[in-house]
Amino acid sequence: MESHFSLKVINLKKYFPVSRGFFAGPQKYVKAVDNISFVVEKGGTLGIVGESGSGKTTLARLVLRLIEPTSGSVYFDNKNIFELNKHELRRLRPQMQMIFQDPMASLNPRKKVKQILAQVLKLHTSLSSEEIHERILSLLEKVGLSPPELFLERYPHELSGGQRQRVCISRAIALNPRLLIADEPVSALDVSVRGQIIKLLLDIYNESRGDMTYIVISHDIALIKSMCKNTLVMYLGRMVELGETDRIIESPLHPYTKVLISAIPIPDPESARERKRIPITGEPPSLIDPPPGCHFHPRCPYVMDKCRTETPSYFQVDDRLVSCFLYE
Amino acid sequence: MNKIIGKNSLLKSNFLQLLFKKITPAKANSRVFTGLVVVLAITMMAITAPLITWYPPLKTLVGEPFTTPNNYYLFGTDDLGRDIYTNVVYGIRTSLIVGLSSVLIAVIIGTLIGVLAGYYRGLLEDFLMRITDMTLILPQFLLALIIVAIFGQNFQNIIIAIGIVSWPGIARMIRAEFLSIRERPFIEAAKAIGLSDIKIIFSEILPNAMPSVIPYVILQINAAILIEAGLGFLGIADPNVPSLGLMLNTAQQYLMNAWWMAVFPGLMLSIIVIGLNLLGDGLVEYLNPRLRKR
The one-letter code for the residue type at B294 is: R
Looking at the domain assignment, is residue A57 inside a domain? yes
CB B185 within 8 A of CB A100: yes
Domain contains A17:
yes
Cα angle, residue B109 at apex, residues B106 and B111 outer, rounded to 5°: 95
Q: Which of B35, B88, B38 is nearest to B245 (CA)?
A: B88
Distance from C-alpha of B291 to C-alpha of B294, rounded to nearest angstrom: 9
The residue of chain A with its CA nearest to that of B209 is A110
CA gap B2, A149 in Å, rounded: 32
User: Would residue B13 count as lying in a domain?
Assistant: no
Model confidence at B23: pLDDT above 70: no
Q: Is B198 on the interface with A (CB under 8 A)?
A: no
Is residue A134 domain-resident? no
Average pLDDT over residues A57-72: 92
Residues in chain A with CB shorter than 8 Å from the CB of B207 are 108, 110
Is residue B17 situated within a structural domain? no
pLDDT confidence of residue B5: 45
Query: Residue A2 above 80 pLDDT?
Result: no
| Three-class DSSP labels, A204-271 | HHHHCCCCCEEEEEECCHHHHHHHCCEEEEEECCEEEEEEEHHHHHHCCCCHHHHHHHHCCCCCCHHH
Contact assessment for residue A74 and residue A81, using Cβ atoms and an 8 Å cutoff:
yes
Q: pLDDT confidence of B212, banded at 50, 70, 90?
A: confident
At A5 the pLDDT is 63
Longest dimension (CA), chain B: 74
Strand partners, A97: A180
Q: Given an 8 Å threshold on Cβ–Cβ distance, is A90 in contact with B204?
A: no
Confidence at A134, pLDDT banded by 50, 70, 90: very high
Pairing of strands A315-317, A320-322: antiparallel
Instruction: Indicate whether B1 belongs to any domain.
Output: no
Interchain contact B228–A (C-beta under 8 A): no
Enclosing H/E stretch for B183: none
CB contact under 8 A, B193 and A101: no
ipTM: 0.85
- Intra-chain end-to-end CA distance of chain B, in Å: 43
Please check whether residue A133 lies inside any domain of the structure: no
Report the number of distinct structural domains present in chain A: 1
Q: Cβ contacts (< 8 Å) between A155 and chain B: which residues?
A: none
Structurally, chain B folds into a number of domains equal to 1
Range(s) of the domain holding residue B188: 25-287
Q: Answer yes or no: is A135 within a domain.
A: no
List the beta bridge partners of residue A46.
A215, A230
pLDDT at A157 over 80: yes
* Helix H or strand E encompassing B1: none
User: Do A124 and B196 make contact, defined as CB atoms within 8 angstroms?
Assistant: no
Reported residue count of chain B is 294
Is a pLDDT exceeding 80 seen at residue B242?
A: yes
Select the residue of B186, B194, B207 nearest A93 (Cβ to Cβ). B194
The CATH number that applies at residue A241 is 3.40.50.300
Cβ separation of B208 and A109 shorter than 8 Å? yes
Q: Per the domain annotation, does B174 fall within a domain?
A: yes
Does A100 contact B189 at a Cβ distance shorter than 8 Å? Answer: yes
- How many beta-carbon contacts under 8 Å exist across A and B? 53
Q: Examine residue A147 and say whether the peptide bond preceding it is cis (omega within 30 degrees of 0).
A: yes
Average pLDDT on A74-98 reads: 90
Q: Is the pLDDT of residue B294 over 60?
A: no
Dihedral sign for Cα atoms in the order A150, A152, A156, A157: negative
Tell me whether residues B193 and A171 touch, CB distance under 8 A: yes
Q: Search chain A and give the residue with CA nearest B189.
A: A106
Please tell me the predicted confidence (pLDDT) of residue B11. Answer: 47
Of B94, B125, B127, B41, the C-alpha closest to B231 is B94
Q: What is the CATH number of the domain that holds B101?
A: 1.10.3720.10
pLDDT of residue B3: 44
* pTM of the predicted protein model: 0.82
In a domain, B3, yes or no: no
In a domain, A68, yes or no: yes
Q: Under an 8 A CB cutoff, do B188 and A109 touch?
A: no
The pLDDT mean for chain A works out to 88
DSSP H or E segment with residue A30: strand A28-41
Would residue B221 count as lying in a domain?
yes
Amino acid B20: pLDDT: 54
In-domain check, residue B16: no
Q: What is the share, in percent, of chain B residues with pLDDT greater than 90?
A: 68
Q: Which residues are within 8 A (CB) of B161 and not within 5 positions of it... i.e. 6 or more apart?
A: B102, B143, B144, B147, B148, B151
- Taking alpha carbons only, the member of A3, A2, A11 closest to residue A74 is A11
Query: What dihedral do alpha carbons A146, A152, A158, A163 form, nearest 10°?
Result: 40
Q: What is the pLDDT of residues A246-268, one digit of tens each?
A: 999 888 999 899 888 888 777 77
Full domain range(s) for residue A251: 5-110+155-322
pLDDT digits (tens, 9 = 90+) for B135-148: 999 999 999 999 99
For the segment A33-58, the average pLDDT, to the nearest whole number, is 90
Q: How confident is the model at residue A205 (pLDDT cuts 50, 70, 90)?
A: very high
Domain-located, residue A147 = no
Q: Which of A213, A273, A275, A183 is nearest to A76 (CA)?
A: A213
Whether B164 maps to a domain, the answer reads yes
Q: Is B125 on the interface with A (CB under 8 A)?
A: no
Q: Count the alpha carbons within 13 Å of A165 in the hemisphere toward its beta carbon.
A: 23
Any domain includes A125: no
